[in-house]
A and B are shown apart, each in its own frame.
Chain A
């Protein structure tokens, strides 16, 4: 009489046991495979001078800002490790045949492609902003604009925000709100500049135009007569 209720209580656990064992086995295999693949990826990247390439395209500076002691190849190795492990975790969960868990995993897997593309869009935006920001900085410094650093910073910031807005729009986070916010902010800045220049800088604008018209047809006098070549 005592044994039967105990057996009944233990039955679900006993039914689950093989699946738990399978779960553990899949996770163990995943851990080993993830470790081996990580080592292989790091080795391959090392022999192909991947870190040198990353240095040249500016990825190393991004990595060093976020992860002090890591290089790009180490980060990629870790990424491979966690991707492989994650895959095996999902596999292991499916082996348990627990409906609720399966649904949750399916939901996560469904969003992964979009999330990956959003990360790629954001990363692309980072490199574009870095490239154009640096071009703006160097060009403005060479033209001796006093606010060169500020303008270059704004260029980088605007491009980053733009690509952030696209990335979040793509994955459906705050759909429409981010884009609208970006548009409102940018439009506001442009309007403010137009008003400031149009009203506050009216006299200056007129002087500049008059000077420009006068100088048409006249050779503009450079700041010095140096022939550099």
Chain B
């Protein structure tokens, strides 16, 4: 349980009380996003005006202490010419709140403030979007909110058209594992944009552990897994391309892995009673018009990825020995000697590695932070192997490769289960 943090200050409470009630909340967590947030807020406003003109809406910007004027841009943002987007004036004013969040710095803490405000305003539907989006359109708001308001879904996950090399943590770990364990077909469990009901937001507020990695990058996987594990009515919506503001995406990869994969492993422990008996996969309904969209090219330094893997094999053997079995170590050693252009990381071995790390995490063979960070070179190797495998493939072929990986995770689930409840010798 999180330690008690006063989420709502006096001034914020006054603002919220003055609004009294709202149907829709659109939450935007932010930190120094002055370049992009104006566009995001305008897209949200246009979406609300166009698709939900009869509903009371509040846009909540939960800010992490920006120093570039992000909150002021949020409050000042306005669509100059409604005619260009072919809408009329809304019946209800779109309220805007920009507030600093309290707690551990990170997206999860920002969301907690949004959940709290939604709870106070008794909102029926909430959507959250990233503040660095360049590809957000007004239609995203309709797609994230309408299934909750009009079709009684509890949780709406996003689905994007992404470059085949992007989202490797999702494609290699998070999607296949959640699919194998929880029987879900949620393709992008950590997409970043979500919709959910007011009731689910209230539940998140109650059960959230916001002193952990859930407060940081772990929030997305936590929300999706909680929705899957608690039997929520889930759908996914096609949003098109997701284009972020460019930043250093590869910086501190191991911290990202710790927060995402660490949270995934932690949730496996928490919801063991759910996935233990779950054997069937339920198709998740998908909404939104599917279309092909060009995505930005992605440069990849394959040599760096393979080098990172090789260095792991050379130096982390004593650490991996306490997690992986000798056959896996021998295979990894052999792989490190292969040429970069021929480098591959078989799906069967990758699945065993992930499950062994999950078992190592569960049985606390070492400090959890060390354990998940030690996965980094193996992840780099898997990414390199995956890129080599799909470099000439079209999107459908890439999806087929990922689905084959999912099948392998399901096939090896008995291996995980046979060792989960038995402590290591």
Q: Which residues of A come within 8 Å of B, CB atoms?
A: 49, 51-52, 55-56, 58, 131, 134-135, 137-139, 141-142, 144, 146, 148-149, 219-220, 222-229
Contacts and interface: CB of A to CB of B under 8 A. Distances in A.
Contacts of B165: 226
Nearest to A220: B248
Q: In the complex, which of the residues A49, A149, A223, A225 has the most CB atoms of chain B within 10 Å of its own CB atom?
A: A225
Contact of B248 (A137, A138, A219): A219
A229 B254 contact: no
A227 B246 CA distance: 10
8 contacts: A55-B365, A131-B367, A134-B370, A142-B253, A220-B248, A222-B249, A229-B169, A229-B170
Q: In the complex, which of the residues A146, A220, A225, A227 has the most CB atoms of chain B within 10 Å of its own CB atom?
A: A227
Interface string B299-318: 11100110110011011100
Instruction: Please report whether the interface of chain B is mostly helix, strand, loop or mixed according to DSSP.
Output: loop
B165 to A, nearest CB: 6
A137 B249 contact: no
B19 to A, nearest CB: 33
A144 B308 contact: yes
Given A137-B316, A219-B248, A226 B424 contact: no
Contacts of A225: 246, 249, 298-300
Contacts of A135: 367, 369-370
A229 B315 contact: no
A138 B373 contact: yes
B232 interface: no
Contacts of A148: 311, 315
Nearest to A53: B364
Contact of B217 (A138, A144, A222, A229): A229
Given A148-B315, A227-B167, 12 more contacts: A49-B423, A55-B365, A56-B365, A131-B367, A135-B367, A137-B316, A142-B376, A219-B247, A220-B248, A223-B250, A226-B168, A226-B298
Nearest to B247: A219
A141 B367 CA distance: 17
A45 B305 CA distance: 46
B250 A222 contact: yes
Contacts of A222: 248-251
Interface in B343-395: 363-367, 369-370, 373-374, 376-377, 383
B244 interface: yes
Interface of B: 162, 165-170, 190, 192, 217, 244, 246-251, 253-254, 256, 260, 298-301, 304-305, 307-308, 311-312, 314-316, 319, 363-367, 369-370, 373-374, 376-377, 383, 423-425
Given A49-B423, A220-B248, A138 B370 contact: yes
A56 B366 contact: yes
B316 A52 contact: no
A184 B235 CA distance: 66
Contacts of B425: 51, 55
A224 B319 CA distance: 28
Contacts of B424: 52, 55
A-B CB proximity, top 10 nearest = A224-B301, A222-B250, A142-B254, A142-B376, A227-B166, A227-B249, A56-B364, A223-B301, A228-B169, A225-B299
Nearest to A51: B425
Contacts of B365: 55-56
Contacts of A149: 314-315
Nearest to A139: B373
Nearest to A224: B301
B31 to A, nearest CB: 16
A57 to B, nearest CB: 9
A131 B156 CA distance: 42
Contact of B312 (A49, A51, A139, A141): A141
